Amino acid sequence: MEKEYLAKHLMIEIINSSYLNDAELMEDFLTNTAHLFGSEILVLKVHQFHPHGLSALMIMPESHIAVHTWPEYQFASMDIFLKASSEPSQSLPLIKKYFHPEDVKIVEIERGIN
């Protein structure tokens, strides 16, 4: 029996970026990512830690994006979870545009039933 997929989940590591401590930049990135997928934003929250780092969460219908940054290590962890009809890897150009990373590592999991 073939597995039926309900969602796609990208686990992303953003490596060697100097743009991980700006809450306004993160909010702009998340807003534009929602627009890219044609999704309505239900919740968007960015929390700035002091002296550095932030965590962000955006909830959309059937989807979410969560981000945690460690600017002192130039590292961020991002999860993009989208309904199966979406293609989360389309967000890669936006990640590169906003965060200018030296490297991006991605693991994709198809979430489903059966």
Owner of token pair 């979870």: 81
* pLDDT, one tens digit for every residue, the chain (114 residues): 566 888 899 999 999 999 999 999 999 999 999 999 999 999 999 999 999 999 999 999 989 999 999 999 999 999 999 988 888 889 999 999 999 999 999 999 998 876
**Any idea what the Cα angle at residue 23 is, between residues 17 and 29, rounded to 5°?**
70
What is the maximum alpha-carbon separation in the chain? 52
**Architecture, CATH, for domain 4-113:** 4-Layer Sandwich (3.60)
- C-alpha distances (whole Å) from 73 to each of 21, 29, 54, 91 are 11, 20, 13, 23
pTM of the model: 0.92
- The DSSP letter of residue 1 is -
